[in-house]
Homo-oligomer: A and B are copies of this chain.
Amino acid sequence: MPDKDAAFVKEITPRSEDFSRWYTDVIRRAELADYSPVKGSMVIRPYGYAMWELMQQALDRRIKATGHVNAYFPMFIPEGLLKKEAAHVEGFAPQVAWVTHGGDEKLEERLVVRPTSEAIIGTMYSKWIQSWRDLPVLINQWANVVRWEKVTRLFLRTTEFLWQEGHTVHETEEEAQAETLKMLGVYKDFCETELAMPVLEGRKTESEKFAGADKTYSIEALMGDGRALQAGTSHNLGQNFAKVFDITFQGRDKTVQHGWQTSWGMTTRLIGGVIMTHGDDSGLILPPRIAPHQVVIVPIPRGDWRETVLPHAERIRDELEARGVRVMLDDREEHSPGWKYAEWEMRGVPLRLEIGPRDIRNEQVMLVRRDTRDKTPTPMDGLAGRIEELLGTVQQALFDRAVAFRDEHTVRTADRAEFDEILEGRPGYVIAPWCGDAGCEARIKTATQATIRNLPLEPPPASGNCIQCGKPGQVDACFAKSY
């Protein structure tokens, strides 16, 4: 029903007018996701799930290339296991779903639906690991997890979400730390290469670290409205879980030692990150590497176009497909070319290929970039190669644009008045000196809503006194309002 659809395309709230409504409009109109009858849970629709599949493949490849293997652990965790690690249960108990009955019977022990799997995986590792020869254990899991959320938002914060969680055990503290940072690096490379989303890597403060970890590292991305999104975390768990779950091994020196662990995760919220990093008033802009359709071909329906134009369009499609380009030929009769242009722009397809009778006479097609809207008549001869090249150009241009945006929205100050003024008037990162005290961090949050996103991995000396208490600064921290 063209009319209803056409209205749909127009119905997106402009991004500049209301970022939050724009975000939800785009997701629903582009059919990435939908609300479900289950409070706080969303449906990932085929177009959104196709993005997730491409992201999974690209990340899974990196996880395996760094020596990890996949496995699957039970989703249910007995209450007693979750409670073993004190900080862990304190962090997660308020937001877990409780299973109390199986069939008609009340369970002897309640089960939680995993909010994360340290407890169940740690229990298995304690069975599997006996000797230093069994180490390192490098296992990853792709799974659904549940965290009961009061306020939810499509992709960014939902009761159930999809993720991968890596869980490793090492012989030494140094190895665990190296693994923690290695995976942070893998995440950064994945985000920047595949999602064209520049990230800032760093260490979380004590108050922001994972419940049960020694150290938490994160990568943070800056969204189009100037808020930060935590895009991935990597935790050095030390021996905390190893001690409570009894993960011990006989060392090279024959003594019994506790393993050193890490865990790290990335989730479907990254889809939200992609939308908010690249999109514009017309809708989505997808980086070619994770676009379900990288090219849409729109034939111009003049005269007997099914006999004249369509065969050319099909030949181009086949040639692109043979090269591994993901291409969609939109030959629907019920929609005009103009409608199709708007539709596929809204859905973020990186390149549009228009082809009509005149193009065929001129042995060319029109290529239109989604990101810049540049239109370039392009010869049929060598077309597929040119398209592949252009997809690479678009991918890089999106990254460069996001880097430029981030740089424009990063300000350094050691002056509190300026700090407050920036955070009120102009969203983005503010880099400012901090004394290292959690109280100061909390007071800044209360006053400005901004939190410390992370601290540099190898911080130079602070550039001044703490922005809150005026005592000597310990480190320049990156502050921002965040999702």
Contacts and interface: CB of A to CB of B under 8 A. Distances in A.
A70 B43 contact: no
A98 interface: yes
Interface stretch (A34-42, A192-200, A356-364, A410-418): A34-42
B1 A120 contact: no
A61 to B, nearest CB: 12
B104 A94 contact: yes
Interface in A26-78: 34, 36-38, 41-46, 49-50, 52-53, 69-78
A103 B70 contact: no
A480 to B, nearest CB: 28
A396 interface: no
Given A38-B77, A99-B100, 14 more contacts: A38-B74, A41-B75, A43-B74, A44-B72, A46-B69, A46-B71, A46-B139, A75-B144, A76-B159, A76-B160, A94-B103, A97-B102, A102-B159, A144-B144
A57 to B, nearest CB: 10
A99 B111 CA distance: 9
Given A70-B53, A97-B102, A78 B38 contact: yes
Nearest to A73: B43
Interface string A89-102: 00001111111111
A131 B1 contact: yes
A207 B470 CA distance: 78
Interface string A405-440: 000000000000000000000000000000000000
B49 A72 contact: yes
A101 B94 contact: no
A471 interface: no
A113 interface: yes
Contacts of A98: 99-102
Contacts of A1: 130-131, 133
A33 to B, nearest CB: 9
A123 to B, nearest CB: 5
Nearest to A74: B41
Given A98-B100, A99-B97, A124-B36, A72 B162 contact: yes
Given A99-B98, A133-B1, A34 B127 contact: yes
Given A43-B71, A71-B43, A71-B44, A76 B120 contact: no
13 contacts: A1-B130, A38-B77, A44-B72, A45-B71, A49-B69, A72-B162, A74-B160, A75-B144, A76-B97, A76-B160, A96-B102, A96-B103, A133-B334
Nearest to A119: B37
Interface of A: 1, 34, 36-38, 41-46, 49-50, 52-53, 69-78, 81, 93-104, 111, 113, 120, 123-124, 127-128, 130-131, 133, 139, 143-144, 146, 148, 159-160, 162, 334
Nearest to A292: B69
Contacts of A52: 72
A118 to B, nearest CB: 14
A99 B70 contact: no
A148 B100 CA distance: 12
B38 A111 contact: yes
A139 B102 CA distance: 29
A156 to B, nearest CB: 16
Contact of A124 (B43, B72, B77, B143): B43
Contacts of A96: 102-103
Contact of A97 (B37, B43, B101, B131): B101
A139 to B, nearest CB: 6
A249 to B, nearest CB: 11
A152 to B, nearest CB: 12
A141 to B, nearest CB: 9
Interface centre among A81, A102, A148 (most CB of B within 10 A): A102
Contacts of A43: 71-74, 124
